[in-house]
Amino acid sequence: MKKKCPNCQIEMPVDAKMCPRCGYSSELVNVEVVEKASLKQKLWHFFHQYFFLLCLFALILLFLGYQAYANWHHHSFELVPVSELERDPNSIHNINELYISDGRNYEHWLNQKEKKIYEMLLNSVDHFEEGFSYRYSDYGYQSKYQATQSLKKINHAFIMDHPELFQYGTIRYQVNETTKEVNVWIRYASNKETYEADKNLIKTELEQVKEATKSFSEYEKAKYIYEYLVKNNDYGDKDDIMSQSAISAFSDISSPVCAGFARASQLLFQNVGLTSTIVPGAIGNTLHEWNIVSIDGDFYNFDATVASSEEIKHFKEDGILYNGFLFEHDENYQIEESKMIPKPDGTKYLYYSHENLIYRYTGIEDFKQKLDSYDTDYIELEISNMPAFRLAKDEIEEQTGIQDLLMVGYVIWIKK
């Protein structure tokens, strides 16, 4: 008796366990089915056992994806060009005619609760109020530390948005951990009685600079503003609250410190048509404010403060050291809130390279020839290999016969 193979249909003995042609076996088929069923059971068991870990892994991937998007979004943030700014009479940021604020830091940087505190600060300053208070627990903060860090962020956003609020100096605050109350007091640089006169003074200066630079290139406008601020100002007294305000850079009553220089620079930049922002941060461990300005689409650091020191003024009366003008990133400059600051990576208009004032020291004889090529009494150079120059400094002064030598960072200033 014979039977047919279910696979290839040839006849084979009834007791045959395997087809002699194709190797088909019902026993092997059963084994394969069992193995497949077993694999499915194992997969289901694995999924069931590690369900929580798999979900956690998926959430981590989602979080990392969001962070990557957020970082890209912040990195791609761009300042609104001055040419595109429009005054909105209904905006809370429309303060006075000195400046058009789009409130970009308020809009793009703060959450809804931070915006409410920002608005309290804005309203208080605009109306010359003594200050304001709030319970930090009502704004979602769990500790004094969170509340103070948030207030610092809000204050930075406020300063960057509103240099035209020249009456504002700074704030001081006190946080009660028991009652969770934050008390904020405002220190004013200009009072209500002199506000109009101070505003008109600033307006006149802005109009004069605008008129003087109307035919200038963007580079020339920035250079004019740098020279204007340095020539007309010495470095002020940090304890003088007026020195924190833009008014100090335009008035004879006070002299600016870094905050005054940065806020005055911002007003000047916008009024001559340059896109820029104030930068809150530090130099080393010292709090500092400066600017980043756009020249032909690229951003550069701008810090008029560094050229106003007593040391530089003593070296040459009315002298200007340009190491704060359109310089590349310096590791000593630490940006406090980098998410809202465009990266200063411009190269074309870096001052010393643009003006062909970079020199690599190779020896005293070559340096003598370099000095002889200038017909001016004062020479300013950026030394590309400053450590080598510093080692030879005493010998250079002795053999070249120069009267005086001032070194600031990688820049030297020579009096022949």
Instruction: Tell me if 233 is assigned to some domain.
Output: no
Q: Which residues span the domain enclosing 145? A: 91-188
Say whether both 61 and 105 belong to one domain.
no
pLDDT band at residue 56 under the 50/70/90 scheme? low
Q: Is the pLDDT at 31 greater than 50, yes or no?
A: no
Instruction: Tell me if 60 is assigned to some domain.
Output: yes
pLDDT band at residue 47 under the 50/70/90 scheme? low
Q: Would you state the pLDDT for residue 33?
A: 41
Instruction: Tell me if 19 is assigned to some domain.
Output: no
Say whether both 65 and 105 belong to one domain.
no
Residues 6+ apart with CB under 8 A from 78: 342
- Strand partners for 359: 383
pTM over 0.95: no
In angstroms, the CA 270 to CA 342 distance is 16
Instruction: Tell me if 316 is assigned to some domain.
Output: no
Say whether both 55 and 99 belong to one domain.
no
Of 16-20, 179-183, 351-355, 382-386, the poorest mean pLDDT is in 16-20
Residues 6+ apart with CB under 8 A from 128: 167, 188, 191, 192, 195
Q: Would you state the pLDDT for residue 2?
A: 61
Last residue of a domain, one of 170, 188, 206: 188
Q: Would you state the pLDDT for residue 72?
A: 39
Q: Is the pLDDT at 154 greater than 90, yes or no?
A: yes
Say whether both 66 and 133 belong to one domain.
no
Say whether both 66 and 98 belong to one domain.
no
Average confidence (pLDDT) over 177-202: 96
For a pLDDT cut of 70, what percent of the chain falls above it? 81
The full DSSP string for 155-184 is HHHHHHH-TT-TTEEEEEEEEETTTTEEEE
Say whether both 179 and 116 belong to one domain.
yes
pLDDT tens, position by position, 390-407: 999 999 999 988 989 999
Q: Would you state the pLDDT for residue 64?
A: 61
Say whether both 108 and 168 belong to one domain.
yes
**Structural domains of the chain, count:** 3
Highest mean pLDDT: which of 126-130, 282-286, 325-329? 126-130
pLDDT band at residue 57 under the 50/70/90 scheme? low
Q: Would you state the pLDDT for residue 266?
A: 98
Instruction: Tell me if 276 is assigned to some domain.
Output: no
Say whether both 114 and 153 belong to one domain.
yes
Say whether both 177 and 125 belong to one domain.
yes
How many residues are given for the chain? 416
Q: Is the pLDDT at 408 greater than 70, yes or no?
A: yes
Say whether both 126 and 160 belong to one domain.
yes
Instruction: Tell me if 306 is assigned to some domain.
Output: no
Say whether both 66 and 119 belong to one domain.
no
Last residue of a domain, one of 160, 188, 216: 188
Return the number of other C-beta atoms located less than 10 Å from residue 275's C-beta: 22
Q: Give the CATH number, domain containing residue 367.
A: 3.30.1370
Going along 189-274, which residue ranges are E strands?
Answer: none
Q: Would you state the pLDDT for residue 340?
A: 81
pLDDT tens, position by position, 237-269: 999 999 999 999 999 999 999 999 999 999 999
Instruction: Tell me if 385 is assigned to some domain.
Output: yes
Given a contact cutoff of 8 angstroms between Cβ atoms, the answer to whether 263 and 281 are in contact is no
Type and span of the H or E element at 83? none
Q: Is the pLDDT at 120 greater than 80, yes or no?
A: yes
Instruction: Tell me if 367 is assigned to some domain.
Output: yes
Last residue of a domain, one of 148, 166, 188: 188
Q: Would you state the pLDDT for residue 52?
A: 60
Q: Is the pLDDT at 30 greater than 50, yes or no?
A: no
Say whether both 385 and 415 belong to one domain.
yes
For a pLDDT cut of 90, what percent of the chain falls above it? 69
Q: Is the pLDDT at 32 greater than 90, yes or no?
A: no
